[in-house]
Structure 1
């Protein structure tokens, strides 16, 4: 599976956030300061997971020759909001 540029960008952003968290820990920042950053990374990774699943579903349907309809697009949008 080739990496979609949008997904790659999100993962690079998460990578930067993780590096920032490591620096915060090295700088002995409080749990109160670190936890929101950890939650942001988790949210970012969850979003990437949804996008990957949605893209895989699109590809599977395209390979089968099945046409996308409005309901399918709606379902894919919901999945990508994970």
Structure 2
């Protein structure tokens, strides 16, 4: 399975954002910032990584569903992503 170009772009953007947030967390720890602030930023990094993973899964599922022969309209990528996020 190859990730669609549009999904790959979105995933890369999320991963780059997470990379920047993680660098910020490291800097916060090195600077001795408050634990609450560090944990809040770390949660944002975790969320960004989760969303990137779900985006990849949703893209793959969409490809599989568009190849089904049951005649039902396939779910959109956004619908699949929302579904996976609801389960997380």
- Which TM-score band (shorter chain)? 0.7 to 0.9
The two structures have a TM-score, normalised by structure 2, of 0.73
In the aligned structure 2, how far is the partner of 1:48 from the partner of 1:78? 13
CA 1:33 to 1:75, structure 2 compared with 1: closer, same or farther past 3 Å?
Answer: closer
**Structure 1: distance between partners of 2:82 and 2:27:** 35
- Given that residues 21 and 38 in structure 1 are in contact (C-alpha distance below 8 angstroms), is that contact kept between their aligned partners in structure 2? yes
1:42 matched to 2:46? The reply is yes
Aligned residue pair count: 80
Q: Does the CA contact (< 8 Å) of 1:14 and 1:45 recur in 2?
A: yes
For structure 2, which runs of at least 5 residues remain unmatched after alignment? Answer: none
Q: Over aligned residues, Cα RMSD in angstroms?
A: 2.4
